[in-house]
Amino acid sequence: MHTMNHLQVDGLICPRCGVGTLSPARVVETLRVGADAVEVAVDANVCSYCSEHWFDPPAQALIDDAIRRLRDGDVSHLTHIGELYRAS
């Protein structure tokens, strides 16, 4: 997960791989907080080559807020969609 300060990045070369170009897309990020996770749909800039997701400050703020609220146990605004298991 990376932040990017440019709001207009369409067609920009990806800073991670230096190969792909970035295009805006709606993505669903799954954010882990300890053993828990929260999904948040945000606008991102997605690399055509390495698929890295880059977030502008408003999108990053949504992600940070979702992580903070889950960390604080503030789940009243969230929809419970499943449980997380580990096979071992």
- Report CA 8 to chain centroid distance, whole Å: 18
Q: Should residue 20 be labelled a site residue for Zn ion when binding is judged by CB under 5 A? A: yes
Distance set, CA 85 to CA 10, 37, 71 (Å): 38, 12, 19
Count of Cβ atoms closer than 10 Å to residue 28 Cβ: 9
Provide the minimum distance between the beta carbon of 7 and Zn ion in the complex, in angstroms, as a whole number. Answer: 19
Q: Should residue 13 be labelled a site residue for Zn ion when binding is judged by CB under 5 A? A: no
**Closest residue to Zn ion in the complex (CB):** 14
Q: Which of the residues 37 through 66 are near Zn ion (CB under 5 A)? A: 47, 49-50, 52
Q: Contact residues for Zn ion (CB under 5 A)?
A: 14, 16-17, 20, 47, 49-50, 52
